[in-house]
Structure 1
């Protein structure tokens, strides 16, 4: 039930930008699904024909889960700076995923070798923070970067630095996600 509602909210938010008839009453949704009232953080990922098409999200919960899903769905579809805005023609080959994050927790480690041992592949999402450098990878990235060494190396690049940053003991935060995905066409709008 929760899975279907989360995907339906994301799909309807995207469709509402193409057709105003897909708008929905937020208060009714919040009354019917109280979990959407709680502060929550999520990422919305779009894939077109198996390739990344947009991915925007929040690391820290700072608004209701409902508002976070709506905002991140619209941003993933139309405001991801890596891609042109989504076109109506792309909807038929689109996959929609919403990942709801647990609150990040600091990962205590002694050195790089200790960090490698404490990272849990295919479960941990990680945030690297060092000075002005910050980046995150969702746990789904483990599908492409299957070892802790590769995962951390590429995370450092995403943060705008390089693997030498680990010599300076950057802050590493760990979180988990509940990922819900479906072919866009198969998700019923609200």
Structure 2
């Protein structure tokens, strides 16, 4: 599975809230990427200007990786107690770091901001 798929899911999760619409086709993603149906712990950290802007980490692994990515992205963006909810202007400059915690160790993927500068 490509890291861009995981980061695309994280971005789409945030965009669902910002745009107030459901856009993630869970059935299609689970069909295309069966690994997403497996339980796996993950963490999402949002960065704005190279500073943490929100974070969320799974503390359980009883749901699918797909649902964990969606859940953690939304929590990091809108419900982290240390920050106000993310707004669109910030989102466009936000970098997303996604870490998977596997039995073989940590796997980290990081996106670029949509707009740089």
Q: Distance in 1 between matches of 2:39 and 2:60?
A: 9
1:135 is matched with none
Q: Distance in 1 between matches of 2:72 and 2:19?
A: 18
Q: Distance in 1 between matches of 2:40 and 2:93?
A: 28
Residue 29 in structure 1 maps to residue 29 in structure 2: yes
Which of 175, 178, 184 is the aligned partner of 2:107?
178
State the number of aligned residues: 115
- 1:50 Cα deviation from its structure 2 partner: 0.5
What secondary structure does 1:76 align onto? helix
- 1:21 Cα deviation from its structure 2 partner: 4.9
Unaligned runs of 5+ residues in structure 1 are: 104-174
- 1:59 Cα deviation from its structure 2 partner: 3.7
- 1:182 Cα deviation from its structure 2 partner: 1.1
Q: CA RMSD in A?
A: 1.7
Q: Distance in 2 between matches of 1:70 and 1:28?
A: 15
2:13 is matched with 13
- 1:60 Cα deviation from its structure 2 partner: 3.6
Which consecutive aligned stretches of 4+ in structure 1 deviate over 2 angstroms post-superposition?
none
Structure with the greater alpha carbon radius of gyration: 1
TM-score in terms of structure 1 length: 0.57
